[in-house]
């Protein structure tokens, strides 16, 4: 095994999300004013909003190949137009400034910079992002730049994509090209977005590009994404003095369905699969022993051909902050393993009535608070940034031309109060970036789910700031949460 395991497997493990200081925090007055310098922003990714897939020498990405498969994307959509943000980038900058945001997370399309994944650098792509970053800075907006937000160049699939170890060198070339051009004006860098989702949906279940269905390939892909983080962080740190480099993880608190020790063990195992397998090596503890054992049993063999001696040292200790992508929790029960269930647990969901988004995800702000406190406790000294948080709500413009998305407002305020409670209890949370600025192409779900603070009419390209966007603009302007649901009126 490479690296030092964080803790051994446990027969009756603790609840993954236990937060001893939560009750104390709840008894104190809720913080409603955020710290000075707190980053208020929103997030997007290149493939989901840019369109213009053939402009300025852009190469083909794995998502063009995947979306061409019949039935791969709900409704048959793709990213060929999306929000047209590559052409209308100045419109987006104006919108960000209008909302008064102080930060904007966006991704640089890998296929625009290295059209074949390695080798020739396409300067026109870099020119575009340079103009975009300069415009953000001119408006007083802090760029938060993501390198890999899933749009790997298709040419790298010749060696298995992320399942091939050569992907690490290719990603490092990408990081070098972007850092050399933009390092003098970008301070916040996210190397990888959601390694678990890349491994799970891209290489285990085949529901995202590149559409591979192989458990061993998924383990290799997840490991190489983490190695890419380490190598990319080294490259950025060498070129950008003072850079803050992190990785954005999709973190799902895992709660047991009952107090039965078997369900508690299932929740702990699921936590290892979803969260600790990525948190521990990134933050210097090596891969967790209990999950390593689960993988060896499921694969019928060891992992030493994938995770080599010395790899842990190439991953850990390179995170200046941790990006937290939080949407909901997982409620887990024990289950028998089988051909379609490699691990002894299953998601059963919450019992009883619960508030849900239009996508059916449970809305649980308290789990975000507990997650932040857990990260603060288990990985002390690592600043936290909420790099994604949002919900699917399908509200559209009404007769008055406005979008009255009251449920998104409730979601937003509930989660921001949870962040405030975590900060009040000691968690070092430096910013909140709402997902998403714009309704956009939501991967295999196509254009149906709407996450945006801004409504996009895909036929006409018309943008309408939703009521939630107006509320968020006021919060960003004041750094304060409203005491109760505010009356909403357009600004400007």
Give residue 352's Cα distance to chain centre. Answer: 29
What share of residues in the chain are helix, strand, coil (percent, to 5)? 40, 15, 45
What are the structure tokens assigned to 143, written together?
């760029």
Instruction: Round to whole Å and give the CA distance between 1 and 334.
Output: 27
One of 194, 238, 336, 421 is an active-site residue; which one? Answer: 194
Strands 39-43, 103-107: parallel, antiparallel or unpaired by DSSP? Answer: parallel
Q: What is the pLDDT along the chain (492 residues), one digit of tens a residue?
A: 333 333 333 334 444 444 444 444 444 445 589 999 999 999 999 999 999 999 999 999 999 999 999 999 999 999 999 999 999 999 999 999 999 999 999 999 999 999 999 999 999 999 999 999 999 999 999 999 999 999 999 999 999 999 999 999 999 999 999 999 999 999 999 999 999 999 999 999 999 999 999 999 999 999 999 999 999 999 999 999 999 999 999 999 999 999 999 999 999 999 999 999 999 999 999 999 999 999 999 999 999 999 999 999 999 999 999 999 999 999 999 999 999 999 999 999 998 899 999 999 999 999 999 999 999 999 999 999 999 999 999 999 999 999 999 999 999 999 999 999 999 999 999 999 999 999 999 999 999 999 999 999 999 999 999 999 999 999 999 999 987 544 444 443
Q: Which pTM does this prediction carry?
A: 0.93
Residue 280 neighbours by CB distance under 10 Å: 26
DSSP one-letter code for 247: E
Contact yes or no for 475/40 (Cβ under 8 A):
yes
What is the length of the chain?
492
Query: Is CATH 3.40.50.150 the right assignment for the domain spanning 22-478?
Result: no
One of 50, 154, 173, 388 is an active-site residue; which one? Answer: 388
What are the structure tokens assigned to 463, written together?
């943008």
What are the structure tokens assigned to 215, written together?
């458990």
DSSP one-letter code for 274: I
Is there a catalytic annotation at residue 122? Answer: no
Instruction: Round to whole Å and give the CA distance between 17 and 371.
Output: 6
Is there a catalytic annotation at residue 388? Answer: yes
């Amino acid at each position: 095994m490479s690296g030092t395991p964080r803790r051994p497997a446990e027969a009756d493990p603790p609840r993954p999300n236990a937060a001893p200081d939560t009750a104390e925090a709840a008894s104190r007055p809720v913080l409603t004013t955020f710290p000075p310098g707190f980053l208020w922003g929103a997030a997007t990714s290149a493939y989901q909003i840019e369109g213009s897939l053939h402009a300025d020498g852009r190469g083909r990405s794995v998502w063009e190949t995947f979306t061409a498969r019949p039935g791969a994307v709900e409704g048959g959509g793709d990213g060929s137009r999306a929000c047209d943000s590559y052409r209308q980038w100045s419109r987006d900058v104006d919108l960000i400034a209008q909302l008064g945001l102080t930060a904007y997370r966006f991704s640089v399309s890998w296929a625009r910079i290295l059209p074949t994944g390695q080798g020739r650098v396409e300067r026109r792509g870099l020119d575009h992002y340079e103009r975009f970053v300069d415009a953000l800075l001119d408006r007083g907006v802090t760029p938060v730049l993501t390198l890999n937000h899933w749009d790997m160049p298709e040419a790298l699939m010749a060696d298995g994509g992320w399942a091939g170890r050569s992907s690490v060198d290719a990603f490092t070339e990408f990081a070098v090209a972007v850092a050399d051009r933009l390092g003098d004006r970008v301070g916040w860098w996210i190397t990888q977005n959601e390694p678990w989702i890349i491994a799970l949906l891209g290489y285990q279940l085949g529901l995202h590009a590149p559409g591979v269905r192989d458990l061993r390939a998924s383990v290799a892909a997840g490991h190489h994404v983490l190695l890419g983080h380490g190598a990319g962080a080294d490259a950025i740190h060498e070129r950008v003095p003072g850079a803050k480099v992190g990785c954005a993880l999709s973190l799902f608190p895992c709660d047991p369905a009952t107090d039965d020790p078997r369900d508690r063990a299932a929740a702990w195992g699921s936590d290892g699969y979803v969260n600790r397998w990525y948190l521990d090596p990134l933050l210097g503890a090596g891969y967790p022993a209990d999950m390593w054992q689960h993988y060896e049993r499921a694969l019928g063999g060891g992992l030493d051909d994938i995770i080599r001696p010395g790899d842990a040292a190439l991953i850990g200790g390179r995170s200046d902050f941790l990006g937290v992508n939080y949407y909901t929790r997982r409620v887990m029960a024990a289950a028998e393993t089988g051909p379609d269930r490699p691990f002894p647990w299953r998601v059963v969901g919450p019992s009883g009535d619960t508030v849900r988004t239009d996508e059916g995800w449970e809305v649980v702000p308290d789990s975000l608070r507990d997650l932040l406190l857990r990260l603060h406790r288990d990985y002390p000294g690592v600043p936290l940034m909420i790099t994604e948080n949002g919900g699917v709500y399908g509200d559209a413009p009404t007769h008055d031309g406005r979008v009255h998305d009251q449920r998104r407002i409730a979601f937003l305020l509930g989660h921001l109060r949870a962040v405030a409670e975590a900060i009040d209890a000691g968690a070092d949370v430096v910013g909140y970036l709402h997902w998403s600025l714009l309704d956009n192409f939501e991967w295999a779900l196509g254009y149906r789910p709407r996450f945006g603070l801004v409504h996009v009419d895909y036929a006409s390209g018309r943008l309408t700031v939703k009521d939630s966007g107006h509320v968020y603009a006021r919060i960003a302007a004041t750094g304060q949460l409203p005491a109760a649901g505010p009356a909403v009126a357009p600004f400007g």
